[in-house]
Structure formats: C-alpha cells, structure tokens
Amino acid sequence: MNTSATGRPRPFVLIILDGWGINSRKEGNAIALAHTPNIDKLVRNWPHTAVRTSGEAVGLPEGQMGNSEVGHQNIGAGKRVLQDYTRVSESIRDGSFYQNPALLKAIEHVKKNSSQLHICGLLGNGGVHAHESHLEALLRLAQMHDVQRVYIHAFTDGRDSSPTGGVEFMQLLQARASALGGEHAAKVATVSGRYYAMDRDNRWDRTGMTYFAMTRAEGLHANSAIEAIQQSYEKKVT
C-alpha cells in the first residue's frame, strides 16, 4: 500500500484512457503524431509496462479484436476474464452447446406445443456481442430435433462489423439455413438495426419499434430480408 510519512494511506487513482494504443509506427497514428507532454513525462520518469488488449490475453480467441467492455472487465478483475464469445464457441466445439438445458427446454416447448422457434440476435462476425457461427449452431440444434418452423429476427450490426455488410451476412445466413433445413429452412421474419434493437440507454421508443415489428408485424415491409436491407442502404441508413 502507498503510505505517507504519517503512515496514512495515500489515495490511489486508476485512470483509463479509452482508445490510447501503443504503436511504434507514426503513419496514420494520431497518438504518436500528437503533442503529449504529460504522458511523455510519465513514461520517462515512472515504471511502466504494456498489456495486450485483444485475443487470448483478454479471454477472446486469438486474433479477435478487443473492445472497451472487454478491456474494462479484465482491468477490473485484475486477471484474464473468459468472455461469453469464447465460452459459447468452446461449448460448440466440444458439443456441450447441444446439451444446454435451457436450449433443450425451449426446443421441448416448441415440440410439445407444435409452435414456432423464434431466434433473435445480432447478425455479423464482430464477435463482441455475437458471432454468426453461434447462430448457425442454433439452427443446427433446431435441425437435430426436427423443428420445422424456425423464424429469425435479425439485428444488423454496422458497429463491430462493416456498416454496409448486412447484405453479405444475410446472404450467408440464408445459404446456411437452406443447407441445414432444406424445405424446412429457417426464415427471416424481421430485420432491425442494432441502433433500435440493442439500445441500452433506456430509449424505449427505439426498442419498441423492434418489439412491435416482431410481435405485431408493424413497420416497413419488403419482399425479402435482403431487399429490406438494400432499401435501407439506398436511403443512406446503415
């Protein structure tokens, strides 16, 4: 503990600078090109080290970029925190995903009531809040249990993946759904941007638009999911 001459603890301050990276290259590097006398002084006069903020160092698969949320979790814990993305991916690889009690209970409910299975989630390969491989595993699970009516409510990304990548991800999703389900392939029921579906600042008007699209079929209509995304892009809405 850092103490003063009187033996009293001195205050200890943790300061986090989001987005402050370390790279020896100056080209296109705003931090290296900037005038930063205070940081330079700290580096010159005090012990320091560098920590990795991506991949296995922060509980993600090797090569996967980190993000603010992951970084704060690891700093706060003071150790490597295995992320949900990694845990889900590992469970798919070892097969335990397909024995998950909560998922099997949902499947059982659908089968018992001859109802539909609705899957809602982020569509993309960003790996921060979701990954397309996890959705594929859910579709595979439904196919394993002969669930014939599966509907997907896709939230396009545009933040952790390309702002205009929705069409490509939707094409991949539909191709995989067709390969897995055949004539009973999962269908895309609604498409919404994460700006609406995943708002976390209590803007219930945004969340409500997604909710009512899923439950009341309210909103804009299109002949296909891809057409809906393309129409949005044509309006410069990504």
Average pLDDT in the 125-154 region? 92
Residues 131-145: tens digit of each pLDDT: 899 999 999 999 999
Asked whether residue 1 carries a pLDDT value surpassing 80, the answer given is no
Confidence tier at 3 by pLDDT (50, 70, 90): low
Global pTM? 0.80
Q: Based on the structure, what is the number of domains in the chain?
A: 2
DSSP notation for 124-157: SS--SS--HHHHHHHHHHHHHTT---EEEEEEE-
56 vs 206: CA distance, rounded Å: 35
Identify the sign of the CA torsion 37, 38, 39, 43.
Answer: positive
Query: CATH number for the domain including 130?
Result: 3.40.1450.10
Note if 115 is an active site residue. no
Average pLDDT in the 120-127 region? 88
Do 54 and 102 sit in the same domain of this protein?
no
Of 68, 96, 115, 224, the catalytic one is 68
Confidence tier at 189 by pLDDT (50, 70, 90): very high
Which residue segment(s) compose the domain that 149 sits in? 95-234
Confidence tier at 152 by pLDDT (50, 70, 90): very high
